Amino acid sequence: MLAKIKNFVKKNQSDLFIILTIILTALIFFGLGRLTVPDKEPVLIKGLESSSR
């Protein structure tokens, strides 16, 4: 079983490298985007008690 996995990785090493690079780049930029977004004020709903009657 382990030999099959090693053989698969050796055959597809360049493709796996490209896929992992794309995934890691996407995760890094997603994290950076989350860090740079300013905090938004929460949405407040007024008059909720009067509309429930």
Give 1-39 pLDDT, tens digit per residue: 999 999 999 999 999 999 999 999 999 999 999 888 888
| 52 has a pLDDT exceeding 60 | no
Angle, vertex CA 16, rays to CA 13 and CA 18, nearest 5: 110
The token duo for 38 is: 């300013």
Whether the per-residue pLDDT at 49 is higher than 90: the answer is: no
CB 16 within 8 Å of CB 9: yes
The model's confidence at residue 42, banded by pLDDT at 50, 70 and 90, is: confident
Judged against a pLDDT cut of 90, whether residue 53 lies above it is answered with no
Can you give the residue ranges of every domain in the chain? 1-32
Q: What is the pTM for the complete model shown?
A: 0.61
